[in-house]
Structure 1
Amino acid sequence: MKEFNLELFADYYQFYIQDEKSESNLVDSWTDFAVDNMIAINDGIVGIGTVRNMDVAVTLRILESENTDNDFKKYDKVNECDLVVSSGIIVIAGCTDYFPDALRIPLENGIYRVRICYGNLDSLNENGLEGDDFYMVSMWKCQTRKELQIVKKEI
């Protein structure tokens, strides 16, 4: 397993994980459904919604095999989707970060399942700028594509 602990500027309440060479964007992907579920997807890109537009704690884990930890009690929300990697590199960044400076991670080409666990979403202060929200992203290579899955919805 490889793990990256990051602070990303979630401008416009989002950050991205994408194939480095993806030419897709999420302009039309942030539908009402996507906003409500805090996830937008397009070819080669995943947009992860946040509860504030400040620096947020993000942990990215690249796993050797499927994540079988299904104990989601400590999370408010859990989503899963696919990301196809075709360039051998993924990029993780805030949506207004300077793309050439964003973190790049080499990965074998293929289909990856991406599980996003959202925690402490209700911890924001009155002005919505400070909080203990966090975002745990796990990725593992898989053989077949699956649809977006809303695994756990906020209560």
Structure 2
Amino acid sequence: MRILLFADYFQIHILDESSEGELAEGWTDGTLVDRLVAFRDILGIRTEVDVDVQVDVNSVNGPPWLEMDAYDHIVEASVEIPSGRMVVMGCSDYLPDAARVEVEPGWMRIRVQKSNLVNAVAAGLESDESPETIERIRVDMWPEHPSGVRVLKQWNP
């Protein structure tokens, strides 16, 4: 599924449909560098721009092949989706209208892979006006026992 999300406040969210979680307290110097904050049933992905970003969401059976050279930043975390309905949205989007992905209820491992970051940052507020400058985020998810945040490739602007 490919969606265009408004990354208001430089973030997008992935959460269980029934989550009442809050991410505001989770953003620290460390999580900002990791570009991800995760709590039990909600996680936030920090974007480099606060305009529209392209998000590709893929549900797979197990960890996909890791394409280190294709991405600027790669990070993983676990999130619980007890309802079986995972929501993908901009942080200020209206929850009832947000995109949903049906998954097996339980724990999911989420791999966030970000690309085109140099071009997006250089274009700033105009980054969403062209395919050459838009920030791209690939989200792969698969069932897996929970584990902590793991940065696999760090982007340093």
* TM-score, normalising length: structure 2: 0.91
SS of the aligned residue for 1:28 comes to helix
The 1-side partners of 2:32 and 2:7 are apart by 14
Establish whether residue 92 from structure 1 lines up as the match of residue 88 from structure 2. Answer: yes
Contact 1:59–1:135 (CA under 8 A) maintained in structure 2: yes
Which consecutive residues of structure 1, in runs of 5 or more, have no partner in the other structure?
Answer: none
Establish whether residue 61 from structure 1 lines up as the match of residue 62 from structure 2. Answer: no
Structure 1 stretches of 4+ moved >2 Å: 124-127
Shift of 1:22: 1.1
CA RMSD of aligned residues (A): 1.3
Aligned-residue sequence identity (percent) comes to 32
The 2-side partners of 1:41 and 1:126 are apart by 28
SS of the aligned residue for 1:34 comes to helix
Partner in structure 1 of residue 16 of structure 2: 19
Contact 2:89–2:98 (CA under 8 A) maintained in structure 1: yes
The 1-side partners of 2:67 and 2:122 are apart by 30
Shift of 1:23: 1.1
Change (3 A) 1:118 1:126: closer
The 2-side partners of 1:132 and 1:62 are apart by 23
Partner in structure 1 of residue 41 of structure 2: 44
Contact 1:89–1:106 (CA under 8 A) maintained in structure 2: yes
Aligned residues: 150
Q: How does 1:5-154 map to 2 (within 5 A)?
A: 5-67=2-64, 69-124=65-120, 126=122, 128-129=124-125, 130=127, 131-142=133-144, 144-154=145-155
Shift of 1:125: 6.0
* TM-score, normalising length: structure 1: 0.92
Which consecutive residues of structure 2, in runs of 5 or more, have no partner in the other structure?
Answer: 128-132
